[in-house]
Structure 1
Amino acid sequence: MQSAIKLTKYLKPYMVFTIIAPLMMVLEVAMDLLQPTIMKHIIDDGIAKNDTGYVVTMFGLMILCAVLGLIGGVGCSIYATKSAVNFATDIRKDLYETITYFSSRNKDHFTLGKLITNITSDVESLQRALTMLLKIFVRGPLTFIGAIIIVFFTARELFPVLLFVVPILAFSIYFFTKISGKLFLKVQEAIDQVNTKVQENLAGIRVVKAYNRKKHQIEKFTSVNGSLMQRNIKADQIIGILGPLTMFVVNIGIIIALWQGAIKVENGTIQVGVIVAFINYLMMIMGGLMSSSAVLMNIARAIPSANRIVEVLEETLDIKITDNALSTQLKGQVEFDKVSFSYIEENEPVLKEVSFKALPGETIGIIGATGSGKSTIVKLIPRLFDVTKGEIRIDNIPIKQIDLQTLRSAIAFAPQRATLFSKTIDENIKYGKDDASSEEIIEALKSSQAYEFVEKLDAKENHFITQGATNLSGGQKQRLAMARAFVRQPAILILDDTTSAVDSISERKIQKAIREQFKDSTKFIVSSKVSSIRYADQILVLDDGEIVGLGTHDELIKDNKVYQEIVDTQQVKGGMLDE
């Protein structure tokens, strides 16, 4: 419940709507409560006395009440919807913004499936609960209380029937609401599992097909989907029992009321109109309790969702932003000072006391065996992770003291896995620079050797890339990812094995473009190929997270055993060092 209270801050901008909605509902309920009383007077004072004028007048009053009730109901729906939808939209926006600051550790803590459920199903559950709270929850208790009060004053002879009906209904609603809250938490957890499985399967659909594992994955999905089905059935069955049970209790109450009423009418102590009004009020009491129970169940369902949302919003970020962080133009000098890093603290470090210095304009090549820590080094520069030990400095400023936006604005990063968005090529390139001109985009495409295939497309730069860039080859995706980095003209350019799917001729042209067009940028080139980093000013040779060699190609080829082995292996495999 505390989580739900914390989320009420999102209602403050829409407090006017939040107040008007229940007030309009009060008007509708008041008009509804008058209807049975008016009907009682029509029967007992109009029809019984054959007073046609009185009957017509009271019918007119009923119509007026109905119109006013309609106005109240429509007004309540409009303002409740405005409040709930805006409330949910703001929460969804903050959730998405929070998730964008998550490091990989933060994301792994929740899993992508759960985060997707948070933004979709959980927020929708809160929106639905708030809408019902502003509309039905006002109506339910007011109808319930109002009907009881009116019965007490206008049909006191039948009031004891309520003492039998109301406690049973109230206890039933409390019992089923309490159970439903626990059941719906399990439903949301099952939805997490389904979302996770769908996300994994769609992301790896090519692997699934290549290994002919479709049947296996369908069985896995069927399992989690079956679990969701069972939990949904159990939750809905429990809720489904409440309606018939409530109706049964009310019907018993109506039978008792008719029986007692018939006796009292015969004795002349009560009129027929009173019995009719009582039955109407009894139905209103049932309706009020049922609608209140529906709201309570939605609230019970929304509370676990609120807990899950607040858990995400209050997650401690791995990448902390320092107060009074510096916003200054960076030149690109990068220094690692005894940097160690572990993805999981209790595990062995991936990097072990790595130290080196890169001056502005230099090219740093990073090479080593798979798992040696090459990609990890360059991920630490834009603070995708924070170091475990040691310090990274840029322009002699500790990296944690630099404003995060300033830091990342000075860096262009083409990751190992080329990620493109379902937009046009032009829009994808502009992710690197929002205001890039057409000339700058074309120049970036030419530098990355992507222009040669882009100009052959019917729509050229306006060619639409499908989700996951499935309408492009691996090499095309890598070249577009490099173009996105090149258009930024950064102080620090990071290319993490971005030419693995590019042919050797195109790679040489890309290397030439980098040397000529990014003379002032500090360039980090991660590669498993010596040919990609041969002309670097410094080459870092990594082995098991440690720098085992540092120097130029010529220096390392003379006296570094690990580098010599890499060179020898690649020459044997096909002349990887050819000019």
Structure 2
Amino acid sequence: MQAVLSLKKYLKPYMPFAIIAPLMMVLEVAMDLVQPTIMQHIIDNGIAKKDTPYVMQMFGLMILCAVIGLIGGAGCSIYASKTAINFAADIRQDLYETITYFSNSNKDHFTLGKLITNITSDVEMLQRALTMLLKIFVRGPFTFIGAILIVFLTARELFPILLVVVPILALSIIFFTKLSGNLFLKVQEAVDAVNTKVQENLAGIRVIKAYNRKSHQIQQFTTVNETLMKRNIQADQIIGILMPLTAFVVNMGIIAALWLGAIKVENSTIEVGVILAFINYLMMIMGGLMSSSAVLMQIARAVPSANRIAAVLGEQSEIISAEHPVTTPIKGSVEFDRVSFAYNKNNEPVLKNISFKAEPGETIGIIGMTGSGKSSIVKLIPRMFDADQGSIKIDGRPIKDYDLQTLRGAIGFTPQKATLFSRTIEENVKYGNEEASLEELIEALECSCALEFVEKLELREQYMVTQGATNLSGGQKQRLAMARAFIRKPAILILDDTTSAVDSISEKRIQQAIEENFEDSTKFIVSSKISSIRHADKILVLDDGVVVGQGTHKELLENNKPYQEIVSTQLVRGGTLNE
């Protein structure tokens, strides 16, 4: 319940709507409660006495009450919907912003499938619960209490029936509501598993096809889907039992009312209209309890969702700016001093005691075997992760002293996997600098050798990239990703194995463009190819997270055995490097 209370701040801006909606519903309920009493008077005072003018007058009153009730019900629906939809939209917006600022470890903690469920299904569950709370939950208790009071005042002879029926109904609803709450938590967990499986399979669809594992993946999805199905069936069956049970109890009450009413009519202690009114009120009581139970069950479903949403919103990102961050423009000096880092704090570090220094304008090449920690080094520079030991300084200041926006704004980062968005090529490249001009866009595309294929597209820069960039080749995606970093004209340029799908001629042209256009930038080039880093001012050779060599290509070729071994594996038959 604490989680539900923590979300009440999202309701405050729409509190006027949230107050008007129940008031309008009270108006509708009041009109509904009057109807059986009017009908009782029509039967006992009009029809029984053959007073036609009185009957017509009462009919007119019934129509007026119905119209007023219609206005109240429509108004309640309008204002309740406005409140719930805006409430849900604000939570969804905050969830998205929170997730955007999460570090990788935060995302791993929740898993992508669960975060997707949070921002979709869980928010939808809260929206539905609030809508029902403002509409039906007001109607239910008011109808229930009003009907009981009216029966007590107008049909006291039949009131003992309610003393039996109402407690049975109330206990049944409380029992089934509590039971359904636990079941719906398991349903949401099953939804997480389905979302995770779908996201995983869609991301790896090419691998699935290449290895002909479609049947295997379908079987895996079938397993999680069946789990969700079974939990949904179990939860719905519990709810399904409540309706016939309630109807049975009410029907027994009606039978008892007719039996007892017949005796009272025969004894002339009550009139026929009173019995009919009582049956109507009994049905109202059942309706009030059932609608209240529906809301309680929806709330029972929403509480686990609220807990999950509150957990995400309350999660503190491990990567945050300092209390009084430095916003001084960055020049590009980078220094690692005995830095160690592990993705999982319980495992062995992937980087061990790393030390080096890069001056503004220098090019630092990083090479090593797969899994040696090359990418991990450059991920620490924009603070994708924080080092566990040692210090990283930029322009002589500890990296944690910088404002995150200032730090990352000075870095052009191209990760191993080129990620493009389902927008135009122009929008994808300008992601690095929204204020860039058309000339700067063309220059960035030219530097990355992307202009040559962009010019051949029908819409050139306005060509729409599909989701996952499936309408571009691997090399085209890499070149556009580099253009996005280039257009930023950053103080620190990081290229993490970004030419693996680029041909050697284009790679040489990209290297030349970098030398000419980013002379003042500190450049980090991660690669498994000697040809990509041989011209660097300093090359770091990594082996199992340790720097085993540091120097120029020539120096390392003369005195560093690990580097010599890498070079020897990349020699062609003629004895020259395969560039």
- CA separation in 2, counterparts of 1:576 and 1:26? 88
Equivalent residue number for residue 447 of structure 1: 447
Equivalent residue number for residue 367 of structure 2: 367
The letter of the residue matching 2:133 is L
- Structure 1's 574 and 462: CA in aligned 2 closer, same or farther, altered over 3 A? farther
Deviations 1:261-312 (A, max 9, x none): 1111111000111111101100000000000000000000000101111111
Aligned length: 579
Q: Is the 8 A contact 2:21 2:134 kept in 1?
A: yes
- Aligned partner of residue 431 in structure 1, secondary structure: helix
The letter of the residue matching 1:263 is I
- Structure 1's 228 and 574: CA in aligned 2 closer, same or farther, altered over 3 A? farther
Q: Is the 8 A contact 2:88 2:124 kept in 1?
A: yes
- Aligned partner of residue 76 in structure 1, secondary structure: helix
Matching of residue 260 in structure 1 with residue 260 in structure 2:
yes
Query: By how many angstroms is 1:316 displaced?
Result: 2.9
Higher mean C-alpha displacement, 565-574 vs 44-53: 565-574
Query: By how many angstroms is 1:320 displaced?
Result: 2.6
- CA separation in 2, counterparts of 1:549 and 1:425? 40
Matching of residue 35 in structure 1 with residue 35 in structure 2:
yes
Equivalent residue number for residue 508 of structure 1: 508
Query: By how many angstroms is 1:109 displaced?
Result: 1.0
Equivalent residue number for residue 194 of structure 2: 194
Residues 222-301 of structure 1 correspond to what in structure 2 (within 5 A)?
222-301=222-301
Deviations 1:77-135 (A, max 9, x none): 11111111111111111111111111111111111111100111000000000000000
- CA separation in 2, counterparts of 1:268 and 1:397? 97
The letter of the residue matching 1:391 is S
The letter of the residue matching 2:239 is I
- CA separation in 1, counterparts of 2:573 and 2:221? 43
Q: Is the 8 A contact 1:180 1:300 kept in 2?
A: yes
Matching of residue 215 in structure 1 with residue 215 in structure 2:
yes
* Structure 1: segments with no counterpart, 5+ residues: none
- CA separation in 1, counterparts of 2:191 and 2:546? 43
Equivalent residue number for residue 546 of structure 1: 546
- CA separation in 1, counterparts of 2:576 and 2:495? 19
Equivalent residue number for residue 307 of structure 1: 307
Q: Is the 8 A contact 2:572 2:578 kept in 1?
A: no
- CA separation in 2, counterparts of 1:296 and 1:221? 32
- Structure 1's 573 and 463: CA in aligned 2 closer, same or farther, altered over 3 A? farther
Matching of residue 412 in structure 1 with residue 412 in structure 2:
yes
Query: By how many angstroms is 1:575 displaced?
Result: 6.1
- Aligned partner of residue 8 in structure 2, secondary structure: helix
The letter of the residue matching 1:64 is L
Equivalent residue number for residue 182 of structure 2: 182
Q: Is the 8 A contact 2:432 2:485 kept in 1?
A: yes
Matching of residue 50 in structure 1 with residue 50 in structure 2:
yes
- Aligned partner of residue 233 in structure 1, secondary structure: helix
Deviations 1:360-387 (A, max 9, x none): 1111111111111100000000000011
Q: Is the 8 A contact 1:334 1:394 kept in 2?
A: yes
- CA separation in 2, counterparts of 1:232 and 1:522? 56
The letter of the residue matching 1:478 is Q
Q: Is the 8 A contact 1:531 1:576 kept in 2?
A: no
- CA separation in 2, counterparts of 1:82 and 1:490? 45
- CA separation in 1, counterparts of 2:471 and 2:126? 38
The letter of the residue matching 2:138 is V
Equivalent residue number for residue 422 of structure 1: 422
Equivalent residue number for residue 558 of structure 2: 558
* Structure 2: segments with no counterpart, 5+ residues: none
Q: Is the 8 A contact 2:447 2:513 kept in 1?
A: yes
- Aligned partner of residue 571 in structure 1, secondary structure: coil
Equivalent residue number for residue 458 of structure 1: 458
Equivalent residue number for residue 331 of structure 1: 331
Query: By how many angstroms is 1:573 displaced?
Result: 7.1
Residues 384-533 of structure 1 correspond to what in structure 2 (within 5 A)?
384-533=384-533
Structure-2-length-normalised TM-score: 0.99
- CA separation in 1, counterparts of 2:406 and 2:77? 46
Q: Is the 8 A contact 1:106 1:318 kept in 2?
A: yes
Query: By how many angstroms is 1:550 displaced?
Result: 1.1
The letter of the residue matching 2:213 is R
- Structure 1's 431 and 546: CA in aligned 2 closer, same or farther, altered over 3 A? same
- CA separation in 1, counterparts of 2:67 and 2:353? 78
CA RMSD of aligned residues (A): 1.0
- CA separation in 1, counterparts of 2:43 and 2:326? 81
Equivalent residue number for residue 124 of structure 2: 124
Q: Is the 8 A contact 1:529 1:576 kept in 2?
A: no
The letter of the residue matching 1:248 is F
Residues 154-193 of structure 1 correspond to what in structure 2 (within 5 A)?
154-193=154-193
- Aligned partner of residue 46 in structure 1, secondary structure: helix
Deviations 1:463-486 (A, max 9, x none): 111111111111011001001110
- CA separation in 2, counterparts of 1:320 and 1:347? 24
- Aligned partner of residue 354 in structure 1, secondary structure: strand
Query: By how many angstroms is 1:577 displaced?
Result: 2.9
Deviations 1:324-349 (A, max 9, x none): 11112111111111111000111111
Residues 109-148 of structure 1 correspond to what in structure 2 (within 5 A)?
109-148=109-148
- CA separation in 2, counterparts of 1:63 and 1:448? 76
Query: By how many angstroms is 1:48 displaced?
Result: 1.2
- CA separation in 1, counterparts of 2:410 and 2:20? 49
The letter of the residue matching 2:350 is V
- Aligned partner of residue 472 in structure 1, secondary structure: coil
- CA separation in 2, counterparts of 1:132 and 1:231? 23
- CA separation in 2, counterparts of 1:540 and 1:574? 27
The letter of the residue matching 1:368 is G
Q: Is the 8 A contact 2:320 2:404 kept in 1?
A: no
Equivalent residue number for residue 15 of structure 1: 15
- Aligned partner of residue 570 in structure 2, secondary structure: helix
Query: By how many angstroms is 1:321 displaced?
Result: 2.5
Deviations 1:473-523 (A, max 9, x none): 110110010011101111111000000000000000000000000011111
Q: Is the 8 A contact 1:449 1:479 kept in 2?
A: yes
Deviations 1:416-448 (A, max 9, x none): 000111111111111111122111111111110
- CA separation in 1, counterparts of 2:280 and 2:327? 70
Equivalent residue number for residue 150 of structure 1: 150
- CA separation in 2, counterparts of 1:278 and 1:134? 28
Equivalent residue number for residue 349 of structure 2: 349
The percentage of aligned residue pairs carrying the same residue is 76
